[in-house]
Structure 1
Amino acid sequence: MKVGIAADHGGFDVKQKLVASLQAEGYSVTDFGAHQYDKNDDYPDLILPLAQAVSNGQVDRGIAVCGSGVGASIVANKVPGVRSALITETYSARQGVEHDDMNIMCIGGRVIGEMLVQELVKAFLQAAYTGEERHQRRLSKVIALEKKQTNNPMTSNPLVKVHSFGQSIWMDFIRRGILANGELKDMIDSYGLKGITSNPAIFEEAINRSTDYQQAIQELVRAGKSTDEIYQTLAVEDIQNAADLFRPIYDQTNAMDGYVSLEVSPYLAKDTDGTIAEAKLLWKAVNRPNVMIKVPGTLEGLPAIQYLISEGINVNVTLLFGLERYRAVTNAYITGLENRLRSGKPIDKISSVASFFLSRIDVMIDPQLEKIAASGGENAAKAKSLLGKIAIANAKMSYQIYKEVFNEPRFKTLADRGAQVQRLLWASTGTKNPAYSDVMYIETLIGPDTVNTVPLETLKAYQDHGQPASRLEEGLTESRKMLSDLDSLGINLDEITHNLEVEGVDKFNKPFAKLMEALENKRKEALSTVK
């Protein structure tokens, strides 16, 4: 029999002893963690992989241990196909299997003794489902209930299912029309959206290519506002209204989700002081706790990020491509928290995400790989095998850095004071190459403590044919090899990510300039009407 076992800190010692004793008895044991004691670990993160393994047949039975066993049971029963129960005596350990086909037993590591634990496990693993007609009739009704719930439009929606793997889905789109007509509220309810991101290109498209803002612009012109003031007023109003829609999620998740992002002017990407000044101005203007100010992760942006965090301003660090720059961003975030704590201010409601851009990496690298592949020779097959895979491999390595940094003692000290981790956010997740899956940048990067901000078209595509599963830490060895192979082909990823950062700033500058020009023209038109 294949047995899976998992425990949080409350059941860690019990689990360690059970693994040893079960292996000694000849069972094939898969230990899903925790693999080291951590008083701050969370039972859902540890019990969920076990429950999924039982559900998909990777293991035959599961044993879940937390302090009381209650939390473990609640989590396990969220996974379709799992029938778990909190067990405290041998009769139920045996009968739960024989009559109810229980496949996960949950026990409380802090409430029952070591000898009883061994007796419960023995009774559970030695029992077998009888399959008698009365038991099968009742079990069939349970399965039918589960199937009915699984087919519920909300619970069967792939976008909603993603959340069960620890990832939040945000939308990379905003426009006044969807705020006014209730469409965004419907999307929050039906898609399970947890937040929104915006950028200059999104606002350029929203304001220039719709009539949503026409009346507001005319009113602002009549009020004597300048072009800059008109843009800021329109953007701030949209962000405020969106933030109000997401505020219940912010409250329900204890400031983990429910955020709306507003970016500082892209012209300030190389201006530390200017970024700080505008970020503070926007933070004050929006005046919502669930707003994030987007700051480019340029070298000049790093001290701004550190300062803004120390001032209690939520920051979405944008335009990240390279691993070393990402590491520097995590340091800026943590240093900002440390500085704030030293000044005697609270750090428990400060949130930040690090936005790691994906599709643009493949867009820049693929042509070089295609050229090598077309030339033939010994490197052709290697180059072809890397097409469309470097961005995802790079992202998976960034997640390993995330796990390393936020499990170090330095951050643990802050976590003890209520600090949140700075989650990785996958950005630029719309597939540019039609030869690739239109959901590849969602499907491959689902994992705990992450966010994926998704363009509207990709959001709809994933709702239609997404297949959510926890894949973020699959194929790590292969991902490392891909990056090594890329280097062996003479393609310097560090150089490419640097160029992408420069190009990324320019890509936001151009639509912003176009937007401001259009607003100036609209302002002049409105003025002529007023006269």
Structure 2
Amino acid sequence: MKPTQQLHDAGQSLWIDDITREMLDSGRLAKMVAELSVTGLTSNPTIFEKAVGKGSDYDEAIEKLLRKGLSDEALFFELALDDLRRAADLFLPVHKRTAGVDGFVSLEVSPLLAYDTDATIAEAKRLYAKAGKPNLFIKIPGTKEGLPAIEAATFAGVPVNVTLLFSTADYLAAAEAYMRGLEKRVAAGLDPDVRSVASVFISRWDRAIVEDVPDELKNRLGNAIGQHAYRTYRELLDSDRWQRLENAGARPQRLLFASTSSKDKRAHDTLYVEALAAPNTVNTMPEETLRAFADHGKLAAVLSPYGGDCDSVLDAHAKAGVDVEALARKLQSDGAKAFVASWQDLLKSIGAKSKALA
């Protein structure tokens, strides 16, 4: 049995952090579903920028859309929604078989809106309605300004993938925004079955400090953060507050481990996948990491609900001078800036391509 199948059987969903028209047209994505236990996907501006700017797969579609006089951003969303609708249809059997737990695809609101609550709410509602697919998440960053948007989108019935979470405190803030949205639905007599995932970024922790900690701590912080978040996730699902929502018909916001490719060549290429194997969670990874795990990954055991050795690892980092909370704030801020830069690069690529094809 392939390690990917073992991980799936252990209760963790494997999502691919990639989507291109070539993956869809060639059948490569469908093959990953059939052979590598892939049950969903996520997307981001960087992925689309590379696909649009460095190939010709989108040229015909862009030529047709140019006749409508769309802006570069509107043109992008048309292209992205076409791809994601096709992917959503591919994953729809999984979505139905799991009663809406799995089989999702994700589309991001413009990163330029990360600190604009009202605009994020409006855009989340618009994109979800325009997509017209039940198994599509709208990605909203878990920034201070994003939290009210997560609550409002949830109340409006929009499934949300909360992104740009780093610390356990970030995760809890996102989970509480989600629950507030559900509680408002219950109070209004609405169905509280609105799905969500909370995406905690892993490998960026280690990349940020890899040269600043002793060898015995290198490439250990990311997994400790993930383990700590998982413990908190399990505790929240056992809380009276969540039990009341579940009794009303709500389903858990699943914890998602994002950024799980190894950034340090000295680290094992499946380091984060093996350490964060946990039931009722999601791991979204690039195709290279997915194939590496399928080829030589080892699933020794699933993650303890008590977080393994995360406390001792976090304590060791604190003694080594790592301020985890301060680093979390920096990573989230840097992540938001990186998303904006990728978004601007994407729009430049679309603009250049449009001019070339006009």
1:434 aligns with 2:265: yes
Match of residue 361 from structure 1: 205
Find the aligned partners of 2:269 and 2:305 in 1 and give their Cα distance: 20
Equivalent of 2:298, from 467, 470, 474? Answer: 467
Match of residue 403 from structure 1: 234
Residues 64-112 of structure 1, C-alpha deviations (whole Å, 9 max, x = no match): xxxxxxxxxxxxxxxxxxxxxxxxxxxxxxxxxxxxxxxxxxxxxxxxx
- Alignment TM-score, normalising by the size of structure 1: 0.66
1:224 aligns with 2:69: yes
Find the aligned partners of 1:502 and 1:179 in 2 and give their Cα distance: 33
Find the aligned partners of 2:300 and 2:48 in 1 and give their Cα distance: 33
Match of residue 501 from structure 1: 332
Q: How far is the alpha carbon of 1:489 from its aligned partner?
A: 2.1
Q: How far is the alpha carbon of 1:413 from its aligned partner?
A: 1.1
Where in structure 2 are the equivalents of 1:406-485 lying within 5 Å? Answer: 406-473=237-304, 476=307, 478-485=309-316
Find the aligned partners of 1:523 and 1:408 in 2 and give their Cα distance: 52
Change (3 A) 1:291 1:477: closer
Where in structure 2 are the equivalents of 1:228-377 lying within 5 Å? Answer: 228-348=73-193, 350-369=194-213
Q: How far is the alpha carbon of 1:518 from its aligned partner?
A: 1.6
Where in structure 2 are the equivalents of 1:175-190 lying within 5 Å? Answer: 175-190=20-35
Amino acid at match of 2:148: P
Find the aligned partners of 2:272 and 2:55 in 1 and give their Cα distance: 29
Would the aligned equivalents of 1:308 and 1:315 in 2 still touch at CA under 8 Å? Answer: yes
Q: How far is the alpha carbon of 1:217 from its aligned partner?
A: 0.6
Residues 371-425 of structure 1, C-alpha deviations (whole Å, 9 max, x = no match): xxxxxxxxxxxx3321110110111010111011111111111111221111111
Find the aligned partners of 1:331 and 1:437 in 2 and give their Cα distance: 35
Which structure is larger by alpha-carbon Rg, 1 or 2? 1
Find the aligned partners of 2:326 and 2:153 in 1 and give their Cα distance: 29
Would the aligned equivalents of 1:165 and 1:470 in 2 still touch at CA under 8 Å? Answer: no
Find the aligned partners of 2:84 and 2:20 in 1 and give their Cα distance: 10
> More displaced, 330-339 or 180-189?
180-189
Amino acid at match of 1:458: T
Equivalent of 1:394, from 203, 217, 225? Answer: 225
Find the aligned partners of 1:287 and 1:469 in 2 and give their Cα distance: 40
Q: How far is the alpha carbon of 1:474 from its aligned partner?
A: 8.1
1:518 aligns with 2:349: yes
1:488 aligns with 2:333: no
Q: How far is the alpha carbon of 1:469 from its aligned partner?
A: 3.8
Residues 292-315 of structure 1, C-alpha deviations (whole Å, 9 max, x = no match): 000011011101001111111100
Would the aligned equivalents of 1:165 and 1:469 in 2 still touch at CA under 8 Å? Answer: no
Where in structure 2 are the equivalents of 1:13-32 lying within 5 Å? Answer: none
Find the aligned partners of 1:325 and 1:425 in 2 and give their Cα distance: 13
Find the aligned partners of 1:242 and 1:311 in 2 and give their Cα distance: 24
Runs (4 or more) in structure 1 with deviation over 6 Å come to none
Change (3 A) 1:346 1:476: closer
Find the aligned partners of 2:233 and 2:305 in 1 and give their Cα distance: 16
Taking only the aligned residue pairs, the percentage that are identical comes to 41
Amino acid at match of 1:255: G
Find the aligned partners of 1:476 and 1:502 in 2 and give their Cα distance: 26
Find the aligned partners of 2:38 and 2:317 in 1 and give their Cα distance: 36
- Alignment TM-score, normalising by the size of structure 2: 0.97
Amino acid at match of 1:364: A
Aligned length: 358
Where in structure 2 are the equivalents of 1:45-84 lying within 5 Å? Answer: none
